[in-house]
Amino acid sequence: MKYVGKQNADHLVSVLQEHYAINIDWDGTRYIGLTLDWDYSHHKVHLFMPGYIENALLRFAHEPLSKPQHQPHPSADKKYGETVQYAKALDNSPLLPPDGKTYIQQVLGVLMYYGRAVDATLLVALSSIASAQAAPTELTLSLIKQLLDYVSTHPDAIITYERSDMVVAVDSDASYLSEPKARSRAGGHFYMSSDTDDPPNNGAILNISKIMTSVNSSAADAELGALYINACEAVAIRNLLHEMGHKQPKTPMQTDNSTALRVVNSNIQPQRTKSMDMRYYWLRCRDSQGQFRYYWKPGPTP
């Protein structure tokens, strides 16, 4: 709670105590399961969830590791030097019984909150496994075990927020043809920063890792689709910040695909599919309204 004058906070507490059993934390160190470590001298706050993963591993009776696991999800096989890249075979492993399906859904539910709150490295694995939870197989179970091995190796993630000018910035990216059925994945990193040409990074207020439902015809099409998905989310955040009193300039939207940037900035006019055309005109419309500013930055650059 934010208050002006402790007497006003004391009055609120006394009224609430007449009707409810409440807990009071004047230091503001606990919120919806999160622990907040305030570093006022350096203008930072650290968020973490001590003991959350330990309790989850006990709940799911996860066996201790024989060696550390530093990868939450298997990476794609690397085919160096090959001119033809073949699609990954469909999962034909046996289906799990109903109790196995329930187990997978429970693990996903527990880890999804943790991933959304503090550890974004889990989101790709969670999204990929969740797409198969309706009919999970033995392969799905092995992926769940690898994910549990990973959080067991890295149990205490911390996310740090630094003081900023409260200008929302977005880093957008796409992974082309990386999901089953020739689909691609959109990724987005939303953070509070400054109104500069290249906004400095900060702790994420939102991370997006979403499998696109449509099949994209090119990497540029996938990147444009990711820009569209992230821009739609950014509109709501812009409105929220405006209502809180933080006026927003053009939201900087970063992409590492120069073709997608030239398309959305109207520097090139390629033939577009109808789905790509819709995304293009929506992004251009929002740009003309002064809501977004699109710019390019190399992918490996932090």
The per-residue pLDDT for 112 is: 94
Could you give phi then psi for residue 223, rounded to 5 degrees?
A: -65, -40
pLDDT of residue 17: 94
| CA distances for 168 relative to 28, 50, 239, 253, angstroms | 24, 28, 11, 10
Q: Which residue has the higher pLDDT, 284 or 130?
A: 130
Instruction: State both tokens at 153.
Output: 């190796």
- pLDDT tens, 239-276? 999 999 999 999 999 999 888 888 887 776 666 666 67
Q: Give the rounded distance of the alpha carbon of 7 from its chain centre.
A: 40
250 with 153, same domain: the answer is no
- Whether residue 80 is contained in a domain is answered as no
Query: Locate tokens 């300039």: which residue?
Result: 249
Beta bridge mates, 48: 35, 158
User: Are 106 and 122 in the same domain?
Assistant: yes
Q: Is residue 5 part of a domain?
A: no
Contact between 93 and 143 under an 8 Å Cβ cutoff? The reply is: no
15 in any annotated domain = no
Assigned domain for 81 exists: no
User: Is the domain of 168 the same as that of 109?
Assistant: no
Q: Measure the N-to-C terminal CA separation of the chain; round to a whole number of Å.
A: 35
Which tokens sit at 47?
């968020």
Domain end call among 163, 194, 219: 163
What pLDDT was estimated at residue 285?
86
Q: Given this model, what pLDDT does residue 269 score? A: 67
Query: Are 123 and 83 contacting, i.e. CB atoms less than 8 angstroms apart?
Result: no
Between CA 139 and CA 146, with CA 140 as vertex, the angle to 5 degrees is: 90
Tens of pLDDT, residue by residue over 42-95, are 999 999 999 999 999 999 999 888 889 999 998 877 677 777 777 777 788 899
- Of 112, 147, 163, the domain-final residue: 163
Do 192 and 110 belong together in one domain?
no
Q: Domain of 178?
A: 164-296
Number of independent structural domains in the chain: 2
User: Does 148 lie in the same domain as 208?
Assistant: no
Asked if residue 210 has pLDDT above 70, the reply is yes
Q: Are residues 114 and 236 both part of a single domain? A: no
Final residue before a domain boundary, out of 110, 142, 163: 163
Q: Per-residue pLDDT for 28 more than 90?
A: no
Domain assignment present for residue 7? The answer is no
Do 155 and 173 share a domain, yes or no?
no
Helix (H) or strand (E) holding 45: strand 44-48
Stretch among 18-22, 138-142, 179-183 having the lowest mean pLDDT: 179-183
| One domain, residues 220 and 120 | no
Torsion angle defined by CA atoms of residues 124, 128, 129 and 132, in that order, rounded to the nearest 10 degrees: 170
Phi, psi (degrees; rounded to nearest 5) at 69: -120, 115
- Are 183 and 235 contained in the same domain? yes
Q: Could you give the CA distance from residue 188 to residue 135 in angstroms, rounded to a whole number?
A: 28
CATH no. for residue 238? 3.30.420.10
Q: Are strands 167-179 and 251-255 parallel, antiparallel or unpaired?
A: parallel
Mean pLDDT computed over 147-176 = 95
CA distance 177 to 184: 5
Q: Mark whether 56 and 172 lie in a shared domain.
A: no
CA dist list (Å): 262 to 42, 127, 177, 196, 280? 40, 30, 22, 21, 11
Instruction: Write the DSSP symbol of residue 25.
Output: -
Mean pLDDT of the chain: 89
Q: Is the pTM of this model over 0.95?
A: no
Domain membership of residue 136 (yes or no) is: yes
Question: Based on C-alpha coordinates, what's the Rg of the chain?
Answer: 22
State the amino acid at position 136 in one-letter form: P
pLDDT tens digits for range 87-132: 777 788 899 999 999 999 999 999 999 999 999 999 999 999 998 8
- 241 and 266 in a single domain? The answer is yes
Same domain, residue pair 181 and 151: no
The reply to whether 18 falls in a domain is: no
122 domain-assigned:
yes
